[in-house]
Amino acid sequence: MTRHRVSFVVHDLAANPIVRAAALATAVAREHDVEVVGFLHSGPDVYEPYRNLFQYKTLRVTLDTVPVLRAIPALAALVTGDVVYACKPLVTSFGPALYAARHLARRRLLLDIEDDEWVTQSRGWPEFLWRDGVKGWRHATAWKFTRALHAAVRCADEVTVSTRTLQRRYGGILVRHGPAAAGYDPDRSDMADRAVCRRQWDLPERVPLALFAGLPQPHKGWSTLLDALAHPEAAAWHLVLAGPPDHPDFLAAAHALGARCHIVGSQPHARMPGLLAAVDAVPVPQLDVPFSRSQLPAKALEAMAMARPVIATRVGDLPEILGDGKRGWLIPPGDAGALAAAFDDIARRPEEAKIRGCAARQWYLAEASQTAIQSRVLALIEGLARPVASIIAAV
């Protein structure tokens, strides 16, 4: 296999878009040289849990449309790969990738799509027309700009997608994005004793723990989770929150749950396996909204890699991933009572939880591990990354 240099161009490296990009880049880095390039929009540095994974090339710029458009050539100039891999079809990532691959030099261009960027977050047509149609010119990721950029998707040599919903729209190759198996291994000797794992975060040793990691965005069913923990069936469960310790929703949860809530702060990616080994379940109560239907929650796959029981809603690809309940628990979206009952079932039947967790890990190894990602993406890169001269001759 010829060794190439692959440049991943990522939207807002200061936030969580790096999660899927990191999974792809880690897999590619086994056979090729990798660089990660992107704007910093929402903060001054790379997203904390992934800060030390790669050598990053970044430019700090606001998300305002004019500064982004002016900065695209400068960011594109940082791209040195002979293969350019844009992560998300946005002006802030696909824009610089297109400029680098079609204007600055003739390079092969890949596009990865993990979210439904067509979906507006507006509630109803009146708000959509006003907020996204009449207003919304300021941000470079406004719906109108993203939708207009869709025509350029055909410029990509190949497309990869994370879910079947996105595959139906864009075609391309389905690539699930699980974490690196070397770290996410429940058989690691340092994770054999759950009590020891819990003491690392000062967590109680004799109560069932549910983990919520990341930001409590509305589509993730945050309110459903809190309502479920208020049900009698889930009264014994404690909630572990891994994310910004000063987030208002986390502080509200701590106030509502009292001693049953444990905020451990944002965790580096390398420490997440240990935290997962310490807990008893990972709820993923996605709501049934257009954005969620096309999304593949990375936290569900991280839990499956660690053989932790996942409780998820019947939204998008989650039923398929969880084997219609054979590899986890499935509940209706927005049903706090069903979520509480699932918590109760896991606590009452630890052997069944172990069986389903082990089945989830086997699925992860076959479909979403780094090895699985490699088998799909490396062959794609090798097939595309031909010498520039042959590319030009073929055009």
**DSSP state string for 247-315:** -HHHHHHHHHHGGGEEE-----GGGHHHHHHH-SBEEE---SSHHHHT---HHHHHHHHTT--EEEES-
CATH superfamily of 5-178+370-394: Glycogen Phosphorylase B; (3.40.50.2000)
For the chain, where do the domains classified as CATH 3.40.50.2000 start and end? Answer: 5-178+370-394, 189-367
Task: Return the pLDDT at 133.
Answer: 62
pTM of structure: 0.86
Q: What is the pLDDT of residues 323-368, one digit of tens each?
A: 999 999 999 999 999 999 999 999 999 999 999 999 999 999 999 9
Question: Any idea which fold 189-367 has?
Answer: Rossmann fold (3.40.50)
Task: Return the pLDDT at 164.
Answer: 95
Residue that has been written with the tokens 């069936």 in this structure: 233
Per-residue confidence at 5, pLDDT binned at 50, 70, 90?
very high
Assign 34 to helix, strand or coil.
strand
CA 291 to chain centre: 13
Give me the amino acid identity at 21.
A
